[in-house]
Amino acid sequence: MRDEGESREISIGGVVCHFHWCRRGEPLMIEGFWIQKFPITHGIWKFVMREQPQREDILQARQPVRNVSWNECRQFIAELNRTAILADVGLAEYHFVLPTEAQWEYAHDNGFLDIGDALEWCFDIDEETGYPVVRGDGIRNVRTPIGYDNVGFRLVIVPRR
């Protein structure tokens, strides 16, 4: 059994990513999950995608990726899941995903996220608009899947189904 808030470091392309364990218990979460403390950075993006996002000005490896679309995030995660990174750290039965809105809120409310000034993509689709949900500190928004102004993302690790 893992303890709430337990930390784990996973190296992606030589960049150490910090994850916190969040146990299940919220009505919308059926299982516990690992959530990344900091958003995806340029260094991680370049390692996985082999290039920088097209609309990015900041090319410093430690700076968070911003201005990426929901579809680009999903492509990034699909590429990342093709690697053996999780198997190498004993999590072969898990995979990377975008956080659901419930996961993002739970981790935020329990102090497991380092929130900057960028918004972040969530996995959820808003029922009214049909667009993906975007979260930030005290902000809930929806954007078109190609709307990307000042939006980044972080990873969640969950069991494969």
DSSP per position, 24-92: S-STT-SS-EEEESSPPBHHHHHHHHSS--TT-----TTSBP-S--HHHHHHHHHHHHTSSHHHHTT-T
Q: What is the pLDDT of residue 59?
A: 61
pTM of the model: 0.88
53: which residues sit within 8 A by CB, 6+ positions away? 45, 65, 67, 68, 72
User: Selecting from 3.90.1580.10, 2.60.120.380, 1.10.3720.10, 3.90.950.20, what CATH number does the domain 7-159 have?
Assistant: 3.90.1580.10
The rounded radius of gyration (Å) of the Cα atoms in the chain is 15
The tens-digit pLDDT sequence of the chain (161 residues) is 678 778 999 999 888 999 999 986 655 566 789 999 999 998 899 899 988 776 555 567 778 888 888 999 999 999 999 998 999 999 999 999 999 988 998 888 888 888 766 789 999 998 888 888 888 877 878 776 666 677 899 999 999 87
With contact defined as beta carbons under 8 Å apart, do 37 and 117 qualify? Answer: no
Within 8 A by CB and 6+ apart from 29, the residues are 22, 100, 102, 103, 106
Separation between Cα atoms, residue 99 and residue 60, nearest integer Å: 25
Contacts of residue 106, Cβ cutoff 8 Å, sequence gap at least 6 = 22, 26, 29
The answer to whether 16 and 43 are in contact (CB under 8 A) is no
> What integer pLDDT is reported at residue 79 of this predicted model?
96
Through-space distance between the first and last CA atoms of the chain, rounded to whole angstroms = 20
